[in-house]
Amino acid sequence: MSTPASAATRPAETFSPVEVERISGLSSEDLLWYEELGLIDSVSREPGGQRVYSASNLRWLEFLNRLRSTGMPVQEMGHYVELAQAGDHTVGERRDLLAGHRRRVLAHAEELAATVHYLDWQIDFYEKKRTALATGPGHTEAD
């Protein structure tokens, strides 16, 4: 099996857009959107213009995916990126932003846990009702 020329000339720790889509679960549209919003930068390009992502880009995309999947608004993600790009003097602000988001995520997790508890109760109620109906008056084992 031959290796494509572009893959042979890339450093080992870089990834094509197709590889990044497979690894990250993001679509090519999402990757472009992240770039357009300024959420990800420093994406290199091969001589032919194809994007080449680094291992650092992949770690950053994983972080962004986690923020997004836990409901952080894109505007807030953008603010975090701005703070990160501004340098170390924003470490406290970044920490506070993430701590605030963590509080919201925990509150949501508690709401979900309460909902799961309610669903378990409701499922148990219907299971008992179904059993009672199946073994109720007029029911025989032959039914």
Q: Is the pTM of this model over 0.85?
A: no
Where are the chain's structural domains?
8-69
Print burial letters for 41-71: b (CB count within 10 Å at least 16), e (below 16): eeeeeeeeeebbbeeebbebbeebeebbeee
Residues 61-80: pLDDT tens digits? 999 999 999 999 999 999 99
Examine the pLDDT at 103 and tell me if it is beyond 80: yes
CATH class of 8-69: mainly alpha
What is the edge-to-edge ordering of all strands in the sheet holding 44-45?
A: 14-15, 51-54, 44-45
